[in-house]
Amino acid sequence: MPRLVRSLADVEEIERQPLEHLELPRSTYHAIRAAAEQFPDRPAFHGLRTGSAEEAPETLVYRDLLRRIHQTANLLHGLGVGPDDAVSLLLPVIPETSICLWAAAATGIANPVNPFLETDHLIAILRSARCKVVIGCHPSIEGDSWPRIEEIRRHLPELTAIRIGGDGDGLEGGVIRFETAIAEQPDDRLLSAREIQPTDVAAYLHTGGTTGLPKLARHSHQGQLLQCAGLDFLLGPQPGGVGLLGVPMFHVGGAIAASLYSLSRGNTIVTLHPNGLREPVAVRDFLRNAERFGATTLGGVPASWSALLGMPSDGIDLSRVRNGIVVASTLPLEVAHAVVEKFGFPLVEGWGMTETHCFGTMNPLHGENRIGSVGIRLPYLQLRIAQLDGRGGVTRDCAVDEIGVMLVRGPQVIDGYVEPAHNAEAWVDGDWLNTGDLARMDADGYVWHTGRAKDLIIRGGHNIDPVLVEEAMYQYPGIELAAAVGQPDRRVGEMPVAYVQMRPDAEFDETAIKDFVRDRIQERAANPIAIHPLPEMPLTMVGKIFKPALRMDAARRVFQRELSALTAGRAEVTVEVAAHPVYGTLATIHLSGADDEVTDQVRQAMAGYPMRFEVIDADAGGYPGRARV
């Protein structure tokens, strides 16, 4: 039984032994196979398709899970997939996604991809991964991914496509029906003679945004299995554990912390809905499903934990739940305290990223859980907080409780990205990965995440941490979600503004909220100059608040307001602000009925803002412009 981590001293004690002392399995396939052989009749999956607590699940036991993995791996082998070939998965949250993921890692390289990305970006990812086979599902399971695959194949006709679900009618050439094809494959062994090595690439996971050159992180079998060992150290083994899966498996949390960790330990996964926790029914019945399946751990992003606070829980027995886990982004303090008070089990927060094979730090379940921190580092991961010089160098390490940039290295950190261009600036001071996260470390080794460096609001040279604003706003009764971003300002660069999503029974009152947070934000410069209500906060596929959309909306609002006043009675103006593959963000100003003088005035007004822009006039055509940077 592995040693439990209760403090940083335990981490250091574990590290006195070399990594080989852990005796990790040789590969992810060997880890899952060992669990299936030990627990052949234990449920590996309970699969739901509606998310309803009334739905009868489809159950897959470990014996049959291993058979499906063998069959799927043998199908891929027969299609020519080898150790250097990628299998791209555009799949929702269903048991077959895990089957295909680990079969692909046993045969070649698994490449789980967000099917909701724009088609051009999907094509770029598959090209970068040198994809040989792509797997999707029938629209009756999830409606968006298969049409994307059909479009992708028009650009990449050499791809072999596999479709899960459907009756097999109407399949185009080069498309294989999953169920029919695997039925013809042996289910008791792998046909490939591949000898997987621990350092072999297991997966390419994409990260780093939705535009530009794809950023694919190389995951090794050893790195993924070391992550699972780290979770045992920090949480303690959970024999017979049950978890509800609502996070997609193109995200490192879904692929590693949920799928691989559970399946390599003989635990049971409940897939709630193909759309995961983006499906309202899955959120509505989350607690009831936790009760009926006997969940022992519950994971969720901050947005889902906030939503659960508004759900009725009277009469629901959650006594088997040992702990909750926060994934994807930092949980506001007010939400953290409220969750613990309402549900009665500890909420464990950690920090991680795709590049660390998932969690890099975590609060120890059997040690001191410092709410608000992201815990202590996992064994064998080195972590430091440092000040950088902006040129790839470290000026100095930070003092205790001093905020700086988090740097990591060690066997849990990837050895690089697929595209060499992404490796050039990723590492600093030798082999330390620059995470881009801001944090401080206290005297006991607990890390306190303070935001992303790129999320800082810079007002006249003054760095404003949006967390300061958000923590104050979450204390206001009725606010369900809150986010602070920078609004462009020609005088000081940026001004803080905030967005809120109110609970269904709460009224929005901007003046009242401003007054409330003003008394709680110590930095006067951090007080938001405007607070905008949204019926629904923009979220990523894994439930993070998508701040780029809010920053673009804030820019659009200020540009629209100023230019409308400037052109009043002389022209009509419409402003759009959107992501751009070259400029990052581009403001497009549409003018109707404007003469040259008005157009020039608009361009002069926009030139004062730190954002690229273009002016489109119905008569004169496009006038691309560039602001001061």
Region of 262 (left: φ > 0; alpha: ψ -120 to 50; beta: rest) is: alpha
Tens digit of each residue's pLDDT (9 = 90 or more) over 393-410: 899 999 999 989 999 999
Q: Is 89 helix (H, G, I), strand (E, B) or coil?
A: strand
Transcribe 413-460 into DSSP letters. Answer: S-S-BSSGGGTTTTEETTTEEEEEEEEEE-TTS-EEEEEEGGG-EEET
pLDDT-wise least confident of 369-373, 415-419, 481-485, 490-494: 490-494
Contact 388, 429 (CB under 8 A): no
Tens digit of each residue's pLDDT (9 = 90 or more) over 259-300: 999 999 999 999 999 998 888 899 899 999 999 999 999 987
Mean pLDDT, range 468-487, rounded to an integer: 92
Contact 416, 336 (CB under 8 A): no
Residues 6+ apart with CB under 8 A from 472: 516, 517, 520, 521
Angstrom distance (rounded) from CA 229 to CA 595: 67
Angstrom distance (rounded) from CA 268 to CA 240: 7
CA atoms within 13 A of residue 239's CA, in its CB half-sphere: 3
**Percent of residues, the chain, with pLDDT higher than 90:** 65
Contact 410, 382 (CB under 8 A): yes
Query: How many CB atoms sit inside 10 A of residue 17's CB?
Result: 12
User: How many residues are there in the chain?
Assistant: 629
Buried b (16+ CB within 10 A) or exposed e, 542-551: bbbbbbbbbb
Mean pLDDT, range 338-365, rounded to an integer: 92
- Residue type, position 452, single letter: R
Mean pLDDT, range 221-244, rounded to an integer: 95
Query: How many CB atoms sit inside 10 A of residue 202's CB?
Result: 31
Residue 449: its pLDDT value, please?
84
Q: Is 164 helix (H, G, I), strand (E, B) or coil?
A: strand
What single DSSP character describes residue 326? E
Residue 465 in this model has a pLDDT that exceeds 80: no
Task: Enumerate domains of the chain plus CATH numbers.
Answer: 8-441 (3.40.50.12780), 456-545 (3.30.300.30), 552-625 (3.30.70)
Could you tell me whether strands 268-271 and 43-47 are parallel, antiparallel, or unpaired per DSSP bridges? parallel
Query: How many CB atoms sit inside 10 A of residue 116's CB?
Result: 16
Tens digit of each residue's pLDDT (9 = 90 or more) over 126-139: 999 999 999 999 99
Output the CA torsion 255→261→262→267 (10° steps): 180
Tens digit of each residue's pLDDT (9 = 90 or more) over 523-557: 777 899 999 999 999 988 777 888 889 999 999 99
Residues 6+ apart with CB under 8 A from 565: none
Task: For residue 35, name the pLDDT band (cuts at 50, 70, 90).
Answer: very high
Angstrom distance (rounded) from CA 550 to CA 530: 13
Angstrom distance (rounded) from CA 415 to CA 3: 27
Residue 454 in this model has a pLDDT that exceeds 80: no
